[in-house]
Structure 1
Amino acid sequence: MALDLLHEPLIQTDAGWHSLPGLLASMARGEVQVFPALRPHQRPAWHMFLVQLSVMALDAVGRRDLPQDEDSWRAALRALTPGFPDDEPWHLIGQDRARPAFLQPADPGGLKWSDVATPDALDMLITSRNHDMKREIARQAAPQDWIFALVSLQTMEGFGGAGNYGIARMNGGSSSRVLLGLAPARAGATQIDPSAWWARDVRRLLTSRKGIGGKTLLWVEPWPEGRSFELSELDAMFIEVCRRVRLILAGERIRAERSTTKAARIAAKDAKGNTGDPWAPLHITEGKSLTLGDQDWTHDLLVRLLFSEKGEWAKPRLAVEHADEASEPMLLVAEAFARGNSKTDGFKSRIVPVPKAMVREMFGERPVALANGVMADIASVDLALRNGLATVAAGGAREKVAKPHYGRTQPARAALRRQADELFFPELWARMEVTTDAGFTPLRRKFLETLAGIARDEFFRALPAMPCASLMRPRAEARGRQALERRLHVAMANLGANPDADLKHHEVTDAQA
């Protein structure tokens, strides 16, 4: 049982079961909307894998269109593995360990292998408390479960201890491979259309291709111990494998074996993740890809990546709109693992709907100033909540408010910021639609009133947790409400002014606190 991806229908979709070339043909026809067996954290890896594979395969046969028939895709995929007339690199189970199998480099011999019972145990998930999802539960796994786990592991994994090196396409072994891009939405919905997304990214990348520029599928290449590739040897769309893995048959069940390596597959430490990955934000001055770390995809982070006045980050190629995309609603997709030292803080995903009218304008000059204005309004209300609660924590003695009192306001402020985060992009798109001052002021007033209402709710919700002597509490709470309302009044009174002023004041005051 070879489980040949080029011929056997191993991958399930809502449009039926497909071989790998059959899947690409079906996606080219726009038929695939769901991969039922694909786990949420595997989506970015699977999308990027299919796009990179398709771009290189079409380039290898000199095509710039997306074939809608299975035979054309099969021929294109085979063009990437010309040295294997029996298609071994496309077999999920290799008959000969000395030859490669799908995403499984050949065994050079002399290695010590350990058993892996299930595809979820092979996958890249590493958690300190096994909390993201339980490991080794897929005892009745189908071949496609192993396919998805291999793609996830080999193209997204980080450093996992001695002999377990991570991928080249991220800034260090404890970083993340980030996907930040625009995706077409399903008709009448705010969900990703996976076929249209794949087709859009493949077409965009093909426009700049000039032929195969180096090694493409690294699992077909020999991997002697201690041997690493240089980035200069590889095609820009190379698909890497970072671990030694082999799938085997144990009776009727598939199992895996893995081994360690003496060196990373690609010598790319100095590149800091700057490998030409078209989904990766790149820091312009430091030349490194984004590390998500313990952050989430908040509006603050997305504004820094996409709308920063300082221009610190180069936007990924596939996160920028194309001329023919201005007539369709899109989704801004941001996904990655928040990775730490031999653990993850979970899979982080955010999908931001971008209205049709905003697609062309979202990367112009106006959104930069408007995004800063929305952030400044949030900051001014956050400042009001902070000052009000800190006053209560200080027993109502305004002159005694100090850093410990400000620290006690953090839970309430975090709750405010979470709700403001959900409001940020709808507010930004609404402000971008306004073209006159007469329309802008009422819109901003409504936003500030909404935030003020949230701040008041969080203020009263937080009051019982504010330490204060019972004798002083009435005065403390009264003065705290006064401090809150005073700053909210200032925010509303400045409706006609530049909201950045409040943002600058907020930053300075917070730093001093």
Structure 2
Amino acid sequence: MTLLYNLLDEPLIRTRLVADGQPRSFSLPGLFVALGQDAIRDFPALRPHQRHPWHAFLVQLAAIALHRAGRSELFDSEATWKQALLDLTPEHPDGAAWCLITPHDRPAFMQAPVPGANVDGWSSDRPTPDSLDVLVTSKNHDLKQGRMRAAGQDDWAFSLISLQTQAPYPGSGNFGIARMNGGSSSRPGLGVDPYGYIGRRWRRDVLVGLGHRSDVLTIGYKENLGFALLWLLPWDGESGLSFSQLDPYFIEVCRRVRLVQTADGISALRATTKGPRIYKDEAKARKGYTGDLWTPVHVAEGKSLGVSVSGFSYERMAELAFGSDYKKPPAQVVYHSDTGPRLELVAQAIAGGQSTTDGYHERRILLSPTVRKLMLQGQSNHLATTAKERVHAVGQLAFLLRNAIKTLLDGGKSRADPKGIPESISKKASLLAAPFEQAEDARFFIALNEEMESEQPDNERLQWLLSMADAAEAILKHAFTAGPQCGEQRYRAQTAALSRFHGGLRNPKTLPDLANYLRQRSIDKELP
């Protein structure tokens, strides 16, 4: 079998350029040069859930190559990048380790060599890149599988990276990666996206990785010449590796996969394993705390962040951005070098589930000048307190709205024990009230930035509270169509619901600032 599709020599990675939006394909070394010049607008073949693993792969690979070359700055030519990458695979000077297809006893890109080249019995049920990829949906209509019949070589490269560096454990001998807390968790990516295009963030994170390498070493990696590209090592599906053998920015492979050339193009063979590539006990003991540049770690529990089906809600993002429960990974920290007119916090992850994945989640938050300044100075307490108060305010109004809608659907009955309301009414009330919290989620950080930038932050917050109250009342009135519709019962239900809502707004135990304002406004109206 010959070597096919060499990423070091062939322009297989499709991009669109910043300058004119025109398509241009690059080899991997050529792509590094273009990224260093911030000349890449996007990768048209890259699917949304593949964005973080692709970014992480490019950063880790560059950081490993630069460290091995003894450099602290990027190479500036395709030839020097190519040599640096070849130097990572000295036993394969012909570039086999960077080819998509090679003899099975040799490494191929993101594919470990098969001892004896024996792939008899391997499954051939992965004819397309998307059927190989990490997504395991509970229903095929969640994201159609096996559709990429006319795939390019970069489609296969992206799917290999996605599978090998972020796969969970769906069972049946398909073990997940070590960089997550448990088989049903996920590998989240939180970082700072500076002003510019894809290359600006890539360059930033490569330099962050080089600067924090010594810190990552302290958690038990090999300082020099640790295994970095795990697809170079033969794997029989049983043997494992220890963290102490690895480079701190190792690029792992968690599945046995081999690409083959067929009459119809590329297809994939795969086999199950009897154990994970990195020793299960070691990975389990770390709870996902692996020094990953983009993964927050819970301070008290010492485990990496897991993302559920709720994704990056405003409550979760407020804590991750400004709170103290999680240790922020190096890529999420704001540095003095993060200059430019715009800075965003980006969060990306596939939600983990039981033998499925629960969707891809991505959220971007603009960091206003004052927020950036406070984060840069390490003065996040005020930000955390303000965000927590706002989270509480949204929750209080959402609770008040749900209760008012319950009263409406219950016909305005006066119950001694609200717990007596039927469960069916409570569920319906939650559905009718959901648009309120969804809308507040969408504007939460915009409003927070406005308060932080305002010369009158107390007034800015009050106006936000009033706007939320108005929005909640509008949703309550819209729900009138779901309540009783006949005569006296309709009037009683609507009146009782409004009374409960407005009474809650004026209750100082709900939101004191809002209640005080509304009370004073009522007094002012009564004055002659």
Distance in 1 between residues matched to 2:428 and 2:441, nearest whole Å:
21
Question: Which deviations, in whole Å up to 9, do the C-alpha atoms of 1:212-243 show, x marking residues without a partner?
Answer: 46210000012133101112211111100011
Question: Which deviations, in whole Å up to 9, do the C-alpha atoms of 1:291-330 show, x marking residues without a partner?
Answer: 112222111011222333xx32111211110112155421
3-state SS in 2 of match to 1:263 = coil
| 1:318 aligned onto 2:331 | yes
2:513 maps to a residue whose letter is L
Q: Which residue of 1 aligns with 2:521?
A: none
| 1:369 aligned onto 2:385 | yes
Distance in 1 between residues matched to 2:224 and 2:373, nearest whole Å:
32
1:2 maps to a residue whose letter is L
Question: Which deviations, in whole Å up to 9, do the C-alpha atoms of 1:387-410 show, x marking residues without a partner?
Answer: 322222333233343254544421
| 1:108 aligned onto 2:126 | no
Q: Given the superposition, is the C-alpha separation of residues 246 and 488 from structure 1 closer, same or farther in structure 2, using an over 3 Å criterion?
A: same
Q: Which residue of 2 aligns with 1:412?
A: 432
Q: Which residue of 2 aligns with 1:305?
A: 320
Within 5 A, what are the aligned runs for 1:149-160?
149-160=159-170
Question: Which deviations, in whole Å up to 9, do the C-alpha atoms of 1:252-297 show, x marking residues without a partner?
Answer: 6111111111110011122221111111111112211111122221
Within 5 A, what are the aligned runs for 1:41-440?
41-94=49-102, 96-109=103-116, 110-111=118-119, 112-115=121-124, 116-186=126-196, 193-209=197-213, 212=224, 214-251=226-263, 253-267=265-279, 268-308=283-323, 311-362=324-375, 364-400=380-416, 401-402=418-419, 404=422, 406-434=426-454, 439-440=456-457
Alignment gaps of 5+ in structure 2: 18-23, 215-222, 518-528
Distance in 2 between residues matched to 1:72 and 1:497, nearest whole Å:
66
Single out whichever of 172-181 and 387-396 deviates more from structure 2: 387-396
Question: Which deviations, in whole Å up to 9, do the C-alpha atoms of 1:183-205 show, x marking residues without a partner?
Answer: 1133xxxxxx2111111101111
Identity %: 38
Q: Which residue of 2 aligns with 1:507?
A: none
Distance in 2 between residues matched to 1:336 and 1:467, nearest whole Å:
43
Single out whichever of 456-465 and 315-324 deviates more from structure 2: 456-465
Within 5 A, what are the aligned runs for 1:468-487?
471-487=488-504
Q: CA deviation at 1:380?
A: 3.1
Alignment gaps of 5+ in structure 1: 187-192, 500-513
Q: CA deviation at 1:373?
A: 2.1
Q: Which residue of 2 aligns with 1:502?
A: none
Q: Given the superposition, is the C-alpha separation of residues 496 and 129 from structure 1 closer, same or farther in structure 2, using an over 3 Å criterion?
A: closer
So what's the TM-score if we normalise by structure 1? 0.90
Paired residues, number: 487
Distance in 1 between residues matched to 2:516 and 2:191, nearest whole Å:
31
3-state SS in 2 of match to 1:236 = strand
Q: CA deviation at 1:423?
A: 1.5
Q: Which residue of 1 aligns with 2:474?
A: 457
Paired residues of 1:326 and 1:359 also in contact (CA < 8 A): no
3-state SS in 1 of match to 2:115 = coil
2:178 maps to a residue whose letter is A
So what's the TM-score if we normalise by structure 2? 0.87
3-state SS in 1 of match to 2:156 = helix
Q: CA deviation at 1:84?
A: 1.3
Distance in 2 between residues matched to 1:113 and 1:152, nearest whole Å:
21
Paired residues of 2:179 and 2:187 also in contact (CA < 8 A): yes
2:123 maps to a residue whose letter is S
Question: Which deviations, in whole Å up to 9, do the C-alpha atoms of 1:396-440 show, x marking residues without a partner?
Answer: 2333432545444211332111101112101111222235xxx12
1:4 maps to a residue whose letter is N
Q: CA deviation at 1:337?
A: 0.8
3-state SS in 2 of match to 1:209 = helix
3-state SS in 2 of match to 1:291 = coil
1:5 maps to a residue whose letter is L
Paired residues of 1:165 and 1:263 also in contact (CA < 8 A): yes
3-state SS in 1 of match to 2:267 = strand
Q: CA deviation at 1:10?
A: 0.5
